[in-house]
Amino acid sequence: MIHILSNTPSILNVFISEIRDAEIQKDRMRFRFNLERIGEVFAYEISRQMAYVEKEVATQLGFAMVPVLIENPVLAVILRAGLPFHQGFLNYFDRADNAFISAHRKTHKDGSFTINVEYSQVPDLNDKVLIICDAMLASGTSIVNTYRDLLLKGKPKHIHIVSVLASEEGIDYIKKHIPQQNLDIWLGVVDEELTAQSLIVPGLGDAGDLAFGKKDINT
């Protein structure tokens, strides 16, 4: 199932408008903070689909029955643009185990590119709820390669793929290469155009550069 949260007017749309705004983007701290706040919104929405059990809690005046999570999810983040987005999830799922994936984009002389997963640090995934978060879903290659790498290390019972901003082409790529059973895709907003360089238009630019500074193109 695909969930596009911006289709329903909410405060999320304000945060998305700010990360798109070229003037507000100049404030690097605010850009990261908005990604973090957007992560919190997604975490809340996903939490509504998770399993709960009633727990008796002792108060100063008696006892209350409160539904609490049966288990915490595993939070997987694709470095580096996903880090502030991931922090929003961690603010809410504060007891979650975490996976960190480094996916490197290599551009070839003909202008084409490949994305390789170079490093991953992953906890036990077997029979867990796995949330894979990346700020941008452009071509979809990073998500698919990350998904394949993670499944080599364990078999989750349910997977949530989450991105702030996606292209229609990237969504189609995921639907083609990732089995749809036990999968939810959560998106902030979807743009139609994807350039030959896999830039989403109108998009917002390079989320990693906006959050942490420009990369050295020679590395």
pLDDT in tens, 48-98: 999 999 999 999 999 999 999 999 999 999 988 899 999 999 999 999 999
Kindly list the domain boundaries of the chain, sorted by start residue: 2-53+64-212
Q: Phi and psi (nearest 5°) for 99?
A: -120, 140
Architecture of domain 2-53+64-212: 3-Layer(aba) Sandwich (3.40)
pLDDT at 104 over 90: no
The residue among 199 and 30 whose pLDDT is bigger is 30
Give CA–CA dist 75/100, Å, rounded.
9
pLDDT at 107: 60
Residue partners of 81: CB distance under 8 A and separation at least 6: 134, 135, 136, 206, 207, 208, 211, 212
The two tokens of residue 10 are: 């909410």
In the chain, the amino acid numbered 39 is G
**75 closest CA partner among 160, 136, 189:** 160
